[in-house]
Each structure stands twice: as C-alpha cells, then as structure tokens.
Amino acid sequence: MNNFNWDSSFMVDFDTFSGISKTAKATQRKLSQMKGMFYDEKLTDKILEKEDPVIYEFYELCCPERAGDLAFGTTILYSGKVGNEYYMTKGHFHTIIDTAEVYYALDGEGYMVMENLEGDTVEVKVSKGQAVYVPRGYAHRTVNTGDKPLILFFTFAADAGHDYGTIETKGYHKMVVEKNGKAAIIDNPHWK
C-alpha cells in the first residue's frame, strides 16, 4: 500500500459515491480525539461515557511532503450532532500558510468554514457537485449539515503541512448549529 513512485504517473481508485479507496490509507477521527472542540464539553463527556462515535474519516496517499507534488484524497464526514452543533472536522491552517486547497463535494451537503489569522471569517455552503476553493491563508473546517455523509475529494500542495494546534488552542470564531430545524452560523462564545 502507498508504494507509489511520485516521480511517475500512477492510478488510484476512489469510489465517487462513498469516497472509499481500496488503495489509500484510511484514518478515523473519533469524538474522543476531538475533546474540547465541540461547544458543549459536558455533553461530549456524557456521550463518551457510552460510546465513541466516528466523526469523520479520510483516505490519503501519504504523499511525500515535497514542493511541486500534489497531495489528494477523500474525506467522509458523518451526519450527526453534539447537542445542536453539527459534526465537523478538526480544521487546520497549512504550516506554509499561503497555500490553497480545493475540495469537491461528491455527496452530501454542509459548509466549509474558513478564517484567517486577521480574524476574517467566511462560510461557504457546499453540496454534491460543487467545488470550493480554500484560499491561501485560511484555516478550513468542513461541517455536515445534512442527513447523510458529506463526502469530499481534496487536493493541495504536498509540502503545505498541517497546523492543527492553532485551532485546538483558540477554536474557531464561528460555529454551525441547528436552529429551528435548519443550519445557522453563530459566533462561538468560547473563542479565545
């Protein structure tokens, strides 16, 4: 698995409905690995006493972090909520902050929630058949507001790197919650 020669052409499989690849490496993110990221931390603990749901998983090709290459893969973000807050990915800045990323929605619906270090925020609704461009300088997180998995194909500069720490410490300015039966974007009262 993943013994690709990145100096030559190769083919990999990605199922366009499920996002699943038989070739790429699957990584799961469970609720226990996202402690403190959902607004209702008490409820998070309460859920974890009973179960540890998979919030999302992604398939990657373990591309070398080498300038000039393109990393790519899929993310499967499950449908669900912690309280009224929709399931989401951890979100990150790129270590080389001025590197963009493209996400293409294969199925489902939700939001790409973005913010830069200056505190500018932007939320883009994304659903099946749409590509969203995450510009350089923006942290990005996906949120599933639908009732089935949100499945995305992504690609970015292979040497971009991932900075999860900034988001883990500070949180996001905005959060996506269900309000009166539909998705609403509100200020995160926990933002530091």
Task: Report in angstroms how near the CB of residue 99 gets to Mn ion at its nearest.
Answer: 8
Task: Report in angstroms how near the CB of residue 103 gets to Mn ion at its nearest.
Answer: 9
Residue number with the smallest Cβ distance to Mn ion: 101
CA angle 151, 18, 34 (to 5 degrees): 50
Residue 85, interface with Mn ion (CB under 5 A)? no
Task: Report in angstroms how near the CB of residue 148 gets to Mn ion at its nearest.
Answer: 23
CB–CB of 105/151 below 8 Å? yes
Report the alpha-carbon distance of residue 89 to residue 174 in Å, rounded.
Answer: 14
Identity of the residue, 85 or 101, whose beta carbon is nearer to Mn ion in the bound complex: 101
Single out the segment in contact with Mn ion by CB under 5 A; choices: 1-9, 30-38, 39-47, 98-106: 98-106
Residue 101, interface with Mn ion (CB under 5 A)? yes
CB–CB of 48/32 below 8 Å? yes
Identity of the residue, 101 or 115, whose beta carbon is nearer to Mn ion in the bound complex: 101
Query: Under rule CB under 5 A, how many of the chain's residues touch Mn ion?
Result: 1
Single out the segment in contact with Mn ion by CB under 5 A; choices: 2-10, 21-29, 67-75, 101-109: 101-109
Report the alpha-carbon distance of residue 10 to residue 64 in Å, rounded.
Answer: 15
- β-sheet bridge partners, residue 123: 113
Single out the segment in contact with Mn ion by CB under 5 A; choices: 19-27, 51-59, 96-104, 142-150: 96-104
> CA nearest 37: which of 86, 103, 93, 96?
86
Task: Report in angstroms how near the CB of residue 151 gets to Mn ion at its nearest.
Answer: 16
- β-sheet bridge partners, residue 182: 179
Give the up-direction half-sphere exposure of residue 165: CA atoms within 13 A in the CB hemisphere.
Answer: 3
Residue 115, interface with Mn ion (CB under 5 A)? no
Neighbour order of strands in the sheet with 121-127: 121-127, 109-116, 138-144
Task: Report in angstroms how near the CB of residue 134 gets to Mn ion at its nearest.
Answer: 7
In the complex, the residues that contact Mn ion under the rule CB under 5 A are: 101
